[in-house]
Structure 1
Amino acid sequence: MHLEYAGSKAMISQHGISFKQGKEDKFIYLPYVYEILNSINSSYEHNKKHSYQIKIDNLAYEKLYLYLISVNPNINNEIEERLNNYLKHLDEEEQEVSNRVYLSDFEKDVYISNLKLMRNYKTQRAKNKIFYFYCTKAIVEIIKINKIKKIELPFNEKFWHVLKTIQGKLALEKITSNISTQEKDNILLIKLTTNIY
């Protein structure tokens, strides 16, 4: 599977193409996802809390992919199926534009040309996002299996974003969690705590 950075979310219309700041490609979070996964994917017999010295690895997506294959050999087919559904969505989006009665034929042509121009870009972003969500789902499974009560990491915005995603997935599993920050030895930390028993 080929993953690469695509960029911010594309805003496409008959007027042109722009990029929405703050809607980052999930690819940028993959090294942080990997570090969390790597830090909690160990044997937990007594200690259900985890603190880890993080070393960001820019080849993390390859390691994440190998891990996902090891726990779900069908991952390629699942991701491919989701991507095919997304491609159908892109086709429907083009069809919907061509059916808009308030746009002139020229505006429709420009809009559809812009959509076609950005199709590969949007598809890569979708692939990155699908992969990201499979990775965070794998982290949630490890948290559940090992009954991890606390994950403590050095604070930064990307870890916060990943932990918020994990928190959302835990909530879907009816597991309450909390994210907080704390200073310890002059280092700002971010903590995810769960109510797993």
Structure 2
Amino acid sequence: MKLKYVGAKPKVSGRGVSFDQSKPDRYTFLNAAIELLEALSLASPKDKKVHLKDARGKELSSSELMDLLEKYCANPQEIFESLEEKTNALLEKYTNRVKENDTINADERRAWLGNIKIMRDYYMQYITNESAYQCTLNALADKLHELKIEEVTFPIGRNHGLVLSHLIDVLRDHKPPYDATLHVEPQDGETFGKLDMNRAIPVDI
């Protein structure tokens, strides 16, 4: 498995291929997610409030990102072993939709199915990057829980805010779950984001 930028999720039709900019390549956020993990790994066990004012490092190469994923994520190779299966399942779903579409003619159906086939490698890389990013978000959630962090302050920029906004959904599904919130506030003439872990959500037994 290799990590590399591929672009937004493709939208395939019988007329060609376009890209859904509302579903960007998760590779875009991997660098910022890894920076947050690296910063948390340096936090003192006594610190319940972490201020990531210096989380503005260099752009990591694909191989460096992969090395750090293997450092922080639990069983990353196990997660990526199913990439072929995930890609095949997605393409089968798209293929069946086209075959069952009775509003298109035979030529458009043939072209549509051909475009899906052509984009297979692209879809696989998109899913690879998505799986790597999800692995990183889970590692962030585990680290925040392990350190009993109550608050994370971070500089606006370099996608840290977007990563932590994605993390909120992961924290809600975490064991135990957290009702985390995210907001922006000024500090010393600068604007910072703040992730408030709040308290764990009660779970009915």
TM-score w.r.t. the length of structure 1 is 0.90
**Mean Cα deviation higher: 154-163 or 54-63:** 54-63
Per-residue CA deviation, residues 103-140 of structure 1 (Å, 9 max, x unaligned), is 21101111011111211112111110111000010000
- Which residue of structure 2 aligns with residue 160 of structure 1? 161
- Which residue of structure 2 aligns with residue 26 of structure 1? 26
- 2:188 counterpart (161, 181, 185): 185
TM-score w.r.t. the length of structure 2 is 0.86
Structure 1, unaligned runs of 5 or more: none
Question: Runs of at least 4 residues of structure 1 off by over 6 A?
Answer: none
- Which residue of structure 2 aligns with residue 99 of structure 1? 100
Residue 189 of structure 2 aligns to which amino acid in structure 1? N
In structure 1, the residue corresponding to 2:81 is in which secondary structure? helix
- Which residue of structure 2 aligns with residue 15 of structure 1? 15
Residue 89 of structure 1 aligns to which amino acid in structure 2? L
Contact 1:68 1:138 in 2 (8 A): no
Q: Which has the higher helix share?
A: 1
- What do you get for the CA RMSD once the two structures are aligned? 2.1
Number of positions where the alignment pairs a residue of Structure 1 with one of Structure 2: 197
Contact 2:2 2:62 in 1 (8 A): no
| Counterpart mapping for 1:118-157 below 5 A | 118-156=119-157
- CA drift at 1:30: 0.8
Residue 93 of structure 2 aligns to which amino acid in structure 1? E
Against the structure 1 CA distance between its residues 161 and 54, is the aligned structure 2 distance closer, same or farther, given a 3 Å change threshold?
same
Structure 2, unaligned runs of 5 or more: 201-205
In structure 1, the residue corresponding to 2:181 is in which secondary structure? strand
Residue 19 of structure 1 aligns to which amino acid in structure 2? F
Distance (whole Å) between structure 2 residues aligned to residue 72 and residue 160 of structure 1: 21
In structure 2, the residue corresponding to 1:179 is in which secondary structure? strand
| Counterpart mapping for 1:32-71 below 5 A | 32-52=32-52, 53-59=54-60, 61-70=62-71
Using the aligned pairs only, state the percent identity.
22
Distance (whole Å) between structure 1 residues aligned to residue 166 and residue 35 of structure 2: 15
Distance (whole Å) between structure 1 residues aligned to residue 74 and residue 65 of structure 2: 13
Residue 180 of structure 2 aligns to which amino acid in structure 1? S
**Mean Cα deviation higher: 73-82 or 97-106:** 73-82
| Counterpart mapping for 1:73-84 below 5 A | 74-84=75-85
